[in-house]
Amino acid sequence: MRNLAYLQSELNKSKTTQLDQSLYQVINGILGLEAEDSSISELVADPLKFVLDPDTGLYLQNTDQSGPSEFPFRVGIDGKIYERYRTVALGDWQSYTPVWTSTGGPAPVMGASTLTGAYALAGNICEFYFRLVLGAGFAFGGGAQVISLPQTLVAPLLTFGGRATLAGVNYTPQFLNASTTTVIPFTNAAPNAIYTAAVPGAWAAADNLFGMGSYRI
C-alpha cells in the first residue's frame, strides 16, 4: 500500500491545473501535509485508490466495483462533496414525487391537485418536504390520508412540522409514521384527529397541506 510519503511526493511533483491547486488545499488540510505545489494522480490502498480527474474532481475509487458502486466518495470541481456512492452532492436538494394514498376506501382523487416534494441527504439523515395544493375535482380518501417519504425510514422521525391552510386559516399538523415509507398527517385542531374531507374544516380547491421533517435512513 502506498503511504502518506507517496502522497506527499505526488503533491510536490508539479502544479498543473487550477483544480490541482484547489484539491491540494483540501488534501493538504485533511492529511496535515505541507507542500508548495500540488498534483496528485492516485493513492492506492487496494481495492481503494484516490484518482484525480481534472474535469470533475478527486475520487475515492473502489476498483472491485463498477457503476454507481465504484465511487464511494468524491470532492467535485464544484467544491461539493459526494458521499456514500451518491451522485447528488451532500446537502443538495433533489425533487421527488410524493404519493397520496389512504388507509381505507375509496382512494384519494387528485383531480387538478398538485403534490410536489424534495429531499436532501447528509450521511444517514434525510431532510424532506412536501406540498399538496388541492385543485378542482379532488376527493379525500377513506380513513387516514397517507403521504409517501422520499427514502426508507429506519428510525422514528427526528423532527416534523408543517401547516395546513383552509380558506386562509392556518392549522399546525402533526405526523405519525404509517410505515417505513409513509407518514400520516393529523390535526391539532382536534386531538389526534386525522385529516378527512371535513377535518379540520371543509377543504376546497386552493387549500393546501405542507409538511417537512428529518429522519434517519
Condensed to tens digits (0 to 9), the pLDDT of residues 207-216 reads 999 999 898 8
* Percent over 90 (pLDDT), the chain: 29
Written as nine digits, the cell of 23 is 484539491
Q: Between these two residues, 102 and 73, which has the higher pLDDT value?
A: 102
Dump pLDDT digits (tens) for 109-132.
999 999 999 999 988 889 999 999
Q: Residues 196-216: what's their mean pLDDT? A: 90
pLDDT digits (tens, 9 = 90+) for 138-177: 999 998 899 999 999 987 766 788 889 999 999 888 787 7
How far is 199 from 31, CA to CA, in rounded Å? 58
Checking if the pLDDT of 41 tops 50, the result is no
Q: Where in the chain is the domain with CATH 2.60.90?
A: 94-216
Grade residue 44 by pLDDT with cuts at 50, 70 and 90.
Answer: very low
Question: How large is the average pLDDT for residues 167-191?
Answer: 80
The pTM assigned to this predicted structure is 0.69
Q: What is the pLDDT of residue 207?
A: 96
Q: For 50-64, how does the pLDDT look when each residue is reduced to its tens digit (9 = 90+)?
A: 666 666 666 666 666
pLDDT at position 186: 80
**C-alpha neighbours within 13 Å on the C-beta side of residue 25:** 7
* pLDDT of 204 higher than 80: yes
- Mean pLDDT (the chain) is 75
| Region 11-32 average pLDDT | 49
C-beta of residue 119 within 8 angstroms of C-beta of residue 93:
yes
**Domain topology for 94-216:** Adenovirus Type 5 Fiber Protein (Receptor Binding Domain) (2.60.90)
pLDDT at residue 32 tops 50: no
pLDDT score of 172: 83
